[in-house]
Amino acid sequence: MAAVKQTIEHVESLEKYQHGFSTDIAQDFAPKGLNADIVRFISAKKDEPEWMLAWRLDAFERWQAMDEPEWAKVHFPRIDYQDSYYYAAPSQKKGPASLDEVDPEILAVYEKLGIPLKEQAVLAGVEGAPRYAVDAVFDSVSVVTTFKKELAQVGVIFCSMSEAIREHPELVRNYLGSVVPVSDNYYACLNAAVFSDGSFVYVPPGVRCPMELSTYFRINAENSGQFERTLIIADKEAYVSYLEGCTAPMRDENQLHAAVVELVLMDDAEIKYSTVQNWYPGDPVTGKGGIYNFVTKRADCRGDRSKVSWTQVETGSAITWKYPSCILRGEGSVGEFYSIAITNGRQQADTGTKMIHLGANTRSRVISKGISAGKSSNTYRGLVSAHPKAKGARNFTQCDSLLIGKTCAAHTVPYIEARNGSCVFEHEATTTKLSEDQLFYAMQRGLSQEEAVQLLVNGFVKDVLQELPMEFAVEAQKLVAISLEGSVG
Amino acid sequence: MSLSAALKSGDVTLLPGKRDEDWKWTDLRGLLRVLPAAAPTLDLAGLVDGPFDALCDERHVVAGGRPDVAIEVPAGGELSVALRILSRDGGALTGKIGIRVGANARLRLLESYEGDASAYVTDTAITIVLEAGAAVERVALAADGAEGVNVSQAQVTLAPGAEYGQTVITNGARRQRIETQVTHPGAGAKLRLDGLYLLEDKRHADLTTGVLHQDLDGATDQFTRGVVRDQARGIFQGRIVVEEGADRTEARMRHNALILSDKAEVDAKPELLIFADDVQCAHGNTIGALDEEALFYMRQRGLPETEARALLIEAFIGAVTDRIGFEPVRDIARAWAAERLRA
Q: Is A455 helix (H, G, I), strand (E, B) or coil?
A: helix
Q: What is the pLDDT of residues A10-34, one digit of tens each?
A: 444 444 676 766 666 667 777 888 8
State what percent of residues in chain B have pLDDT above 90. 85
Cα separation, B204 vs B184, in Å, equals: 29
A348's CB contacts (< 8 A; 6+ apart) are A73, A74, A75, A76, A318, A319, A320, A376, A377, A378
Residue A37: is its pLDDT beyond 70?
A: yes
Most confident among A38-52, B96-110, B287-301 (mean pLDDT): B96-110
Q: Quick check: A448 contacting B, CB < 8 Å?
A: no
* Closest residue, chain A, to B271 (C-alpha): A413
Is residue A302 within 8 A of residue A330, CB to CB? The reply is yes
User: Among A370, A362, A352, A345, which Cα is nearest to A430's?
Assistant: A370
Tens-digit pLDDT profile for residues B51-89: 999 999 999 999 999 899 999 999 999 999 999 999 999
pLDDT tens digit string along B228-282? 999 999 999 999 999 998 999 999 999 999 999 999 999 999 999 999 888 999 9
- Among A residues 366-405, those touching chain B with beta carbons less than 8 Å apart: 388, 391, 401, 403-405
pLDDT(B98) > 50: yes
- CA dist A368 and A399 (Å) reads 5
B106-115 and A88-90 strand pairing = unpaired
List the single residue in A411, A415, A424 with the smallest CB-CB distance to B273. A411
> What number is the average pLDDT over the span A281-302?
87
A489 touches chain B (CB under 8 A): no
CA distance B298 to A471: 52
Phi, psi of B23, deg, nearest 5: -120, 15
pLDDT band at A61 (very low <50, low <70, confident <90, very high): very high
Name the more confident of A217 and A270. A270
Q: Kindly report which listed range (A265-269, A432-436, A473-477, B142-146) carries the lowest average pLDDT score.
A: A473-477
At residue A5, the pLDDT reads 54
Interface contact B281-A432, CB threshold 8 A: yes
B286 interaction partners in chain A (CB closer than 8 Å): 424-427
pLDDT higher than threshold 60 for residue A121: no
Please name the member of B262, B279, B284 whose beta carbon is closest to the beta carbon of A421. Answer: B262
Show me where the domains of chain B are located: 36-291
* Residue A15 to residue A118: CA distance in whole angstroms: 31
What one-character DSSP code corresponds to residue A364? E
pLDDT at A120: 47
User: Do B274 and A388 make contact, defined as CB atoms within 8 angstroms?
Assistant: no
> Which residues does chain A have within 8 Å of residue B208's beta carbon, measured at their own beta carbons?
none
A108-118 mean pLDDT: 64
Condensed to tens digits (0 to 9), the pLDDT of residues B147-178 reads 999 999 999 999 999 999 999 999 999 999 99
Partners of residue A421 in chain B, C-beta under 8 Å: 259-264, 289
The DSSP letter of residue A100 is G
